[in-house]
Amino acid sequence: MNAYLALLQNCANCDNLNANLILGVEELYNLNRPNSGLQHLHRAMDDGHLNAAYFMGMVLLRHVGT
């Protein structure tokens, strides 16, 4: 798992939008790192990743409603 996360982090550091989306979801839901997870999702969303924007919206709706 560590090698997988290291690869994702390296790709995200090179502005890979898909890596930022995947890493954001991993950190948010599997690694209990909500702040950095949301930062990765936000980075992908800001650079135009539509799935990241949708996912970010769903996350925010879920947390606002609770």
What are 22's two structure tokens?
């995947």
Tell me which residue range forms the domain holding 53.
2-64
Q: What is the DSSP string of 2-66?
A: HHHHHHHHHHHHTT-HHHHHHHHHIIIIIS--HHHHHHHHHHHHHTT-HHHHHHHHHHHHHHH--
CB 52 within 8 A of CB 33: no
Written as one letter, the residue type at 45 is M
Q: What pLDDT is attached to residue 65?
A: 58
Domain count, the chain: 1
Mean pLDDT (the chain) is: 93
pTM over 0.85: yes
Q: What is the pLDDT of residues 22-40, one digit of tens each?
A: 999 999 999 999 999 999 9
Share of the chain above pLDDT 90, in %: 89
* 19 — pLDDT class (breaks 50, 70, 90): very high
